[in-house]
Structure 1
């Protein structure tokens, strides 16, 4: 007769996986779906705020064309633009147009805002790329250096530098760079010289990104000309974000160096350079990637002043032009486009962070 000690307890069924409990969705998929769902109300709030603010300012047609047209002509323009209709009707038509990719038309030159995106958006994209390159080149190495010499003279100098470049207005830094380098013949306005720009515009396919079109054209002189024109605007805008990266890398690297696994690596006799590069620095970069989404908005905001200072004809340059003309319908469309770009960039950063750091998925 079997004793109770020899009775084997029935095996418990294996626990359901987290994917099955969540309806077959992996944690990564659920995380990305939640982030994507949050974009929809955020976009709706942004677009609604822009629409309301543009209407609070006043009648856009009278503001842009008042004094140049008669009252009858202004009334005709209002009727053609639908501005004589109730505000809720205007809002519904505007939102319906956005869903179909119609961002409206400008008042002063009757251009499609979508056309402005195609024509000038590539220039802003190119400037943002060069600025990010400067920000990474400045912020990450100097942040590591500041963390290595914590509370010593290099650290103090670098922290002051980070505060100064972040606090200084972008247009002021741009003007200083122009004053410093223009006397030496360094180009300080436009995206390329006139001859290079005319030649590159004939390239097919034409991407609108000047450096790519110059490479497709195949002239080394034009490539160098485009790079020279990009240096000063990229430094002026990149230093703004570089100061943020410098302080962020320093703080996160110092926190990572206090972790137990770093202490254990040092106790095993691992060289300090290897501890810094293999154990601390990689983990300290995860918050930097996270903050990049916020810096996209900072770059686009700074691009307005940078492009105006250096006559870099991108979205920011066009936005400033339409603000001067009081063309608020154009401003409304461009600001909405910038909001869409920021939201898309933030979602892309969330995707990258989810792959780099699995902890954010749960």
Structure 2
């Protein structure tokens, strides 16, 4: 007679095992990523503060040769630059906590006002560029993976390398030379008349596409998109090349997975295997690197906005650099650093929701 050993079971309704620390893996992951945002921003802010103090006195650099010594000393006192360096650093940090990024020297403008008025333009251009990057990178990456090591694949990989390696301002200049002879607008966000018309929109978001939709005039919507096409294409191709290569590599790896082999064994066509099984999982790494690409887009926006006279944060930063207004440069660079840090955290949240593997 054999004796069967039955493992004891938990009674029905027993509570699940306690989670470590009382938090779910997702909550622990997000808290860790949030905790890393603060030191990252602090390090960036400290580096910007130190570097702009190393290159010299911001007041003398901006106003030297136009003001006498007494006037420069008065401006230093007003800006707090006559105090000890540690005092300046502490006052700058406490100001950032309050949302005070400083004031420009050349036009006495609050840096936070630049975020409201010009930041919306940079956000709009970045979103357009992301649309272009997805529209270019994802379909072409899928085609390259399908025709691996054949002529379409070789040509698309070469295209990805060229658009990623070429300076964004150079691509912008080529696009202006190619489209300007056909009357395509290549500078500004809209025409002067449309800008004056959209100034009366209420509520005003400073994102011209939304403002033109709120205005209810289709011709304004078309004009906004027409003006945005060239700068968005120049900036979007930069990231589109990255997405193309990333989708290609991950799709090729996914096509060798066991579950894809099982799908083929069930008799599914290659098109259905790619579309229903492999392609969706190959997109997860694209979401993962999106945070880094946002930082790249913000860096490229400085050159793109200058090339196409798109009055965003990058355009203002270039203007203040030319004016040697280093206090404005310090505030804008710090502002961009905070935006990149917050965006990276939001991307981490999206990745954690899409891919459960990153939580553990």
* TM-score, normalisation: structure 1: 0.96
User: Which of 254, 257, 260 is the aligned partner of 1:259?
Assistant: 257
Q: Which runs of 5+ in 1 are unaligned?
A: none
Match of 1:27 in 2: 25
The residue aligned with 2:338 is 340
Q: 1:187 aligns with which of 182, 185, 188?
A: 185
Q: Which residue of 2 aligns with 1:309?
A: 307
Which range moves more in the overlay, 246-255 or 221-230? 221-230
Q: Deviations over 1:282-337 (max 9, x none)?
A: 00000000000000000000000000000000000000000001101100110111
Within 5 Å, give how 1:130-169 maps onto structure 2: 130-169=128-167
Residues 147-296 of structure 1 mapped to structure 2, 5 A cutoff: 147-296=145-294
State the secondary structure of the residue aligned to 1:23: helix
- Partner of residue 117, structure 1: 115
Seen in structure 2, the aligned counterparts of structure 1 residues 31 and 183 have a Cα distance that, compared at 3 Å, is same
Match of 2:99 among 89, 92, 101: 101
| TM superposition shift of 1:10 | 6.5
Per-residue CA shift, 1:233-259, capped at 9, x if unaligned?
Answer: 000000000000000000000000010
Structure-2 separation of matches of 1:222 and 1:4: 85
Partner of 2:359: 361
Q: Which residue of 2 aligns with 1:91?
A: 89
Instruction: Report the Cα distance in structure 2 between the residues aligned to 1:9 and 1:203, rounded to whole angstroms.
Output: 71
2:50 paired residue among 49, 52, 61: 52
Q: Residues 213 and 10 (structure 1 numbering): CA distance in 2 closer, same or farther, change over 3 Å?
A: closer
- Residue 21 of structure 1: how far off its partner (Å): 3.5
Aligned residues: 359
Q: Deviations along 1:197-237, whole A, 9 cap, x unmatched?
A: 11001111110001111111111211111111000000000
Unaligned runs of 5+ in 2: none
- The one of 56, 60, 71 aligned to 1:73: 71
| Cα pair distance change 1:322/1:9, threshold 3 Å | closer
Report SS of the residue matched to 1:187: coil
Q: Structure 1 10/153 Cα, relative in aligned 2: closer, same or farther at 3 Å?
A: closer
User: What's the TM-score, normalizing by structure 2?
Assistant: 0.96
CA distance in 2, matches of 1:167, 1:8: 65
1:82 maps to 80
d(CA) in 2 for partners of 1:147 and 1:5?
57
Q: Structure 2: how far apart are the matches of 1:6 and 1:273?
A: 50
Q: 1:209 to 1:22 in 2, by over 3 A?
A: same
1:270-291 Cα offsets, whole Å, 9 max, x none, are: 1111100111000000000000
